[in-house]
Amino acid sequence: MTQPAQIGLIGLGTMGAMLALNIAEKGFPIAVWNRTTSVTHGFKAEAGALADRITPTETLADLVAAIKPPRAIILMVPAGEAVDQQIAALRPLMDKDDLIIDAGNALFHDTNRRAEEAARLGPHFLGIGVSGGEEGARHGPAIMGGGLRADWDRVAPVLTAIAAKYKGEACAAYMGPAGAGHFVKAVHNGIEYADMQMIAEVYGVMRDGLGMEAEAIAKTFEGWNQGPLQSYLIEISAEVARATDSHSGKPMLDMILDRAGQKGTGRWTVIEAQHLAATIPAIEAAVMARNLSSRLEERLKGEALFGAAPQPTTQVTLDQLEQAMIAGKILCYAQGFALISAAAKAFDWAMPLPEIARVWREGCIIRSSMLNDMATALTEDPARNLMLAPFFADHLKSSHGALRAVVAAAAISGLPVPALASGLAWFDMMRTGRSTANMIQAQRDFFGAHGFERIDGLDDKHGPWAGHGI
Ligand code: 6PG
């Protein structure tokens, strides 16, 4: 006998189906609905031992009726219009106290709007960022919740049960009101883009600069995965580098077109950072690199005209590359957390920075051993930039020289390393007490009489050129 459902889920695509199985496995009876009814029935038919906890429904009204009130329904539909359509279709069928949970990769501005509409029209609304891909959805994702605290608390038992666990601690937490959860997920994705790009850059130095074969690259990543760089992304990069293409017998990597896709979450992060005047150049560089990678024809024209850029180098050791990656990674995470801080201030959201680092320790794509140290550093002082925390400052003191050597050698050999180089430039600006912005201020005053502050505090806002530019 199928048990009465405690929760509902709409959208049995890969992620939705995996999440529904995860929920059922953790002991929560679930009602499911999909636009195509055969998919809904097929899902139950293939659920094996979990089938008893799954109620397939053929209409939205049936779905709502199958769930114990006050109801909670998770949406796992493509971000954007589909979410609005689904909410509009559910609204007349649900009670005001019921709850809709959008678990897709929504733009947080949309989540803000939907939260506001929910407050006026009901039912209640939560936006949750879910990370971890298919495997995570099935066996434990990281979950970042946004909306009313009381709504989060209501479904927290289910969400913490299905979430990944770090030493027994659930990687699911409330991030703040309205779009806060989806904002944190967007920053996660921005960091994901930068981490992936930096790994691709060091791969490029190994492949084109040091002439290493895929197998040797795989071994190098495997070795790094035993040290401070231990992370899911380094681990899968080793596996990827080791894989062989069944068609050609060549390394799989060599057969993959170098044109990267994207759904846009990294771009959202960069756009938002610009609005907030937050500085995330490593993430910006990663988004730029993805955009440029897709312009293959233009790149081929460039190569035909100027000759191929990458040249072999003898100036970089594998040890330096590892240290450069450590420094780059710290800098990119420091930028991501600083962006979250800026958003918390600007939107008046009390976002729990140490909790965010804790939630990212397991289940999500950017999980890594460094995040535990970041959680500790942010607990000590959530307002301090991570690169200034003693633990990471020590790491940076011992690794930024290698980052500098790698970026310099890469520049001389024409090996593009935009994310590493942007991270380094940011680091150098962050440690320069006397910058060159005095020149910018002088220029602004010259052509626009914008005025400047003097270092001696005198109240004379204009240079001797006053009047020249106006
Ligand atoms: C995750 C991932 C996941 C997905 C994104 C990024 O945390 O599980 O970030 O959400 O990989 O859709 O995709 P793009 O690389 O296509 O932007």
Structure token digits, residue 319: 């040890």
Atom of ligand 1 nearest to the CA of 141: 8
Please tell me the predicted confidence (pLDDT) of residue 331.
Answer: 98
Determine, yes or no, domain membership for 2.
no
Residue 321 sits in the same domain as residue 447: no
The residue among 122, 153, 178 that closes a domain is 178
Please tell me the predicted confidence (pLDDT) of residue 272.
Answer: 97
Determine, yes or no, domain membership for 198.
yes
Residue 349 sits in the same domain as residue 385: yes
If one compares 470 and 286, the residue with the highest pLDDT of the two is: 286
The residue among 128, 155, 178 that closes a domain is 178
Instruction: Average the pLDDT over 236-249 and give the result.
Output: 98
User: Could you tell me the CA-to-CA distances from 208 to 81, 237, 250, 310, 313 in Å, in that order?
Assistant: 43, 17, 17, 6, 8
Atom of ligand 1 nearest to the CA of 136: 8
Burial per residue of 254-273, b for 16 or more beta-carbon CB atoms within 10 angstroms, e otherwise:
eeeeeebeeeebbbbbbebb
Structural domain harbouring 164: 7-178
Number of domains in the chain: 3
Report whether 443 contacts 347 (CB < 8 A).
Answer: no
Q: Which one-letter amino acid corresponds to residue 35?
A: R
The pLDDT confidence band at residue 226, using thresholds 50, 70 and 90, is: very high
Residue 64 sits in the same domain as residue 204: no
Alpha helix positions (H), 205-317: 214-224, 232-242, 265-275, 281-293, 296-306
CATH (domain of 59): 3.40.50.720
Q: Look at ligand 1, atom 1, and give the residue with the nearest C-alpha.
A: 131
Summarised one tens digit per residue, pLDDT across range 33-43 is: 999 999 999 99
Q: Are strands 172-176 and 142-146 parallel, antiparallel or unpaired?
A: parallel
Residue 222 is among the residues annotated as catalytic for this protein: no
* pTM for the structure as a whole: 0.96
Residue 112 sits in the same domain as residue 209: no
Separation of alpha carbons 66 and 61, rounded Å: 9
Residue 229 sits in the same domain as residue 376: yes
Q: How many CB atoms lie within 10 A of CB 50?
A: 17
Choosing from 26, 44, 192, 213, the catalytic residue is 192
Residue 251 sits in the same domain as residue 333: yes
Structure token digits, residue 116: 């506001």
CATH (domain of 322): 1.10.1040.10
Atom of ligand 1 nearest to the CA of 364: 7
For the chain, give percent helix, strand, coil, nearest 5: 60, 10, 30
Does the beta carbon of 265 lie inside 6 Å of ligand 1?
A: yes
Atom of ligand 1 nearest to the CA of 264: 17
Residue 161 sits in the same domain as residue 208: no
Residue 311 sits in the same domain as residue 377: yes
Summarised one tens digit per residue, pLDDT across range 263-274 is: 989 999 999 999
Identify which of 14, 134, 184, 192 to mutate to test ligand 1's pocket (most ligand atoms within 8 A of the CB).
192
Q: Are strands 30-33 and 54-56 parallel, antiparallel or unpaired?
A: parallel
Summarised one tens digit per residue, pLDDT across range 346-380 is: 999 999 999 999 999 999 999 999 999 999 999 99
Q: Assign 73 to helix, strand or coil.
A: strand
Instruction: Average the pLDDT over 202-223 and give the result.
Output: 98
Average pLDDT, the chain: 97
Closest by CA position to 111, among listed 347, 342, 361, 365:
347
Please tell me the predicted confidence (pLDDT) of residue 4.
Answer: 82
Residue 158 sits in the same domain as residue 131: yes
Identify which of 365, 366, 367 to mutate to test ligand 1's pocket (most ligand atoms within 8 A of the CB).
365
Partners of 30 in the β-ladder: 7, 54
- Segment among 63-67, 259-263, 299-303, 318-322 with least mean pLDDT: 259-263
CATH (domain of 442): 1.20.5.320
Please tell me the predicted confidence (pLDDT) of residue 468.
Answer: 60
Residue 25 is among the residues annotated as catalytic for this protein: no
Please tell me the predicted confidence (pLDDT) of residue 467.
Answer: 63
Does the beta carbon of 365 lie inside 6 Å of ligand 1?
A: yes
Q: What are phi and psi of 225, to 5 degrees?
A: -70, -10
Residue 317 sits in the same domain as residue 219: yes
* Residue 176 neighbours by CB under 8 Å, 6+ apart: 146, 344, 349, 350, 351, 352
Instruction: Average the pLDDT over 254-281 and give the result.
Output: 96
Instruction: Average the pLDDT over 76-104 and give the result.
Output: 97
Determine, yes or no, domain membership for 335.
yes
The pLDDT confidence band at residue 1, using thresholds 50, 70 and 90, is: low
Residue 218 sits in the same domain as residue 365: yes
Q: What are the start-end ranges of the E strands in 15-71?
A: 30-33, 54-56
Residue 280 sits in the same domain as residue 350: yes
If one compares 278 and 468, the residue with the highest pLDDT of the two is: 278
pLDDT over 70 percentage in the chain = 99
